[in-house]
Structure 1
Amino acid sequence: MVTGVLIDWGGVLTTSLTDSIARWIAADRIDADRYYTVMRELIDHAYQGGDGESLVHALERGEIDGPSFERDLAARLLTMDGAPPVAEGLLERMFSGFERVDAMYDMLRDVRHNGVKTCLLSNSWSHTYPRDGWEEIFDAVVISGEVGMRKPEERIYRHALGQIGLAGEECVFIDDIEANIVAARALGIAGIHHRDADTTIAELETVLRLTLRGKDRHHGLDQAL
């Protein structure tokens, strides 16, 4: 029986990273082709088993600070004017387009109301998390840069499980990056690959055998129309 939910933040409890990045690229006049080439190389290495350590690994574990990463990334990028973008505040600008997805927050409140434990499990990029109301939806918070571990490392999942006092087989993990879900499943944790709120809530209802508020709200609206 599943009695615990581990859940990512960016792209799951928020709107997609793709949308946020697109807004930043337009606002800072970034050369989009250059950005996606650079970032694809960094992310593939970090999440697809590249050899050795990378700047992303170090950033997510908190081994380097945000300004150091910003200077390195800015030096690899170009604006449409052919110059590097301003490094200071680069990460905050990249993530500033994130918007809270209320249906997912409502779902987590309902999950906890039904006695299921919840734990945020997020890889941080030295950005600011909007923590207002977190005490209502999380029993525990595990942020990579604060604990010196990162997804998809086995140890961070074990740490999160310890924070809510459950075994892997008692939990489900929701994330928008498949590599992170694969790693969780290796520890017996069920996985839901997040694409949108409605689909995730429906899948979670099946796993938990509960009817959740987020889906009910949409269903009630559909019946009223």
Structure 2
Amino acid sequence: MITGVLIDWGGVLTTSLSVSIGKWIAADRIDDAHYRAVMRELIDQAYGGDQESVVHALERGELDGAAFERDLAARLRTVDGVSPEAEGLLERMFAGFERVDAMYDMLHDVKRNGIKTCLLSNSWSNVYPRDGWDEIFDAIVISGEVGMRKPEPRIFEHALGRVGLPGEACVFIDDIEANIVAARGLGMAGIHHRDADSTITELESLLQLPLRRA
């Protein structure tokens, strides 16, 4: 029986990262193909390799946002062949995130049915819009605040401890497959988020609860 829901923020409770990044690429005139090559290498290191990277350090809060912005700006280039402005780079990258109301409504209904909820998010030194979070979350675990990151098992164990539940009693929702695999390794059910409709459908099936609003 599932009595706990752990859920990611960016790309799950918000519109997709790719949409936000696309807006930033256009606004800052970033060389799109070069950006994708740079980020593919960084993300592969962060989620598929054994070696530490700047992303590991950023997400654990070991590297501050300004230092990461300088590092990333030096790797990127604009369509004019120069590095983009480093200051405020992360804020501009994520400025296109928009709240997905259907997901927030779903969490309200989940919590109203007595199921524990926990936000479990890897941060990139970003500011989270926390208005109303007390109403939908029993616990909030953000990587840069706790010095751990997904897919490290210890951050999942920390989150489970915050809601006082074993892995077998929880479902974890995320848009990154490596994080889902890690959660399943601790006994949790996993939902790989692609869009609100499919995620809510899967969660309704797991919880045996109606979670849609007219």
With structure 2 as the length reference, what TM-score do the two structures score?
0.99
Measured after TM superposition, the shift of residue 68 of structure 1 is: 0.3
Measured after TM superposition, the shift of residue 81 of structure 1 is: 1.1
Tell me the alpha carbon deviations over residues 65-91 of structure 1, each in whole angstroms, 9 at most, x when there is no partner.
000000000000001111100000000
Matched ranges for 1:89-100 at <5 A: 89-100=88-99
1:216 is paired with a residue whose SS is coil
The answer to whether 1:4 aligns with 2:4 is yes
Partners of 1:143 and 1:36 in 2: CA distance: 26
The answer to whether 1:200 aligns with 2:199 is yes
Partners of 1:153 and 1:64 in 2: CA distance: 18
The answer to whether 1:84 aligns with 2:83 is yes
Percent identity (aligned): 77
> What is residue 216 of structure 1 aligned with on the other side?
213
Unaligned runs of at least 5 residues, structure 2: none
Tell me the alpha carbon deviations over residues 21-62 of structure 1, each in whole angstroms, 9 at most, x when there is no partner.
0000000000001100000000011011x1321000000000
* Residues paired across the two proteins, number: 214
Matched ranges for 1:5-154 at <5 A: 5-48=5-48, 50-154=49-153
1:82 is paired with a residue whose SS is coil
Unaligned runs of at least 5 residues, structure 1: 218-225
Partners of 1:127 and 1:28 in 2: CA distance: 19
Tell me the alpha carbon deviations over residues 118-150 of structure 1, each in whole angstroms, 9 at most, x when there is no partner.
000000000110000101110000000000000
- One-letter code aligned to 1:66: G
> What is residue 187 of structure 1 aligned with on the other side?
186
2:172 is paired with a residue whose SS is strand
Partners of 1:183 and 1:35 in 2: CA distance: 28
1:111 is paired with a residue whose SS is helix
- One-letter code aligned to 1:4: G
Partners of 1:99 and 1:52 in 2: CA distance: 33
With structure 1 as the length reference, what TM-score do the two structures score?
0.94
- 4+ residue runs over 6 A deviation: none
Partners of 1:154 and 1:45 in 2: CA distance: 17
- One-letter code aligned to 2:2: V
Measured after TM superposition, the shift of residue 109 of structure 1 is: 0.3
Partners of 1:33 and 1:201 in 2: CA distance: 34
Measured after TM superposition, the shift of residue 174 of structure 1 is: 0.2
Partners of 1:127 and 1:158 in 2: CA distance: 23
Partners of 1:198 and 1:216 in 2: CA distance: 12
Measured after TM superposition, the shift of residue 178 of structure 1 is: 0.4
Partners of 1:46 and 1:201 in 2: CA distance: 28
Measured after TM superposition, the shift of residue 216 of structure 1 is: 3.3
